[in-house]
Amino acid sequence: MGHERQVFENVTQARSAASNAVNLKDKMEKENILTNTLKTLFAVAENYPDLKADTNFLELQREVADTENKIQSARRFYNGNVRDFNVTVQSFPSMIIAGMFGFKTREFFDLEDNHPAQEAVQVKF
């Protein structure tokens, strides 16, 4: 039970840290940690058939899968806007105006190669 309690505490801490991130790089790191802790939560749930059959837990699994889809969509939307912004900032004549006002290219919201968070969360029923 101690291990299970620690998993729930880790998920709560990771969720809190992700929501309190201050910049893009920090946000990426905190969301990656949250994704990994959620994977641990579902791995622990595999040991408890009664929990897997519980309607609240099934709803949680559905919500996590839906949230992962929304996060992927938001990352694609953000990266598309960053791409368009970077092209505009680097293209003539807008680069002149961008330089005058201090606009700089922005970083994409990317995960490191082979990072575990790149894999979709496995929700097993």
**Which of 54-87 are b and which e, b meaning 16 or more Cβ less than 10 Å from the residue's Cβ?**
eeebeebbeebeeebeeeeeebeeeeeebeeebe
- What domains lie within the chain, and their CATH numbers? 2-118 (1.20.1440)
pTM comes to 0.58
Give the model confidence (pLDDT) of 8-40 as tens digits.
788 888 888 888 888 888 888 888 888 888 777
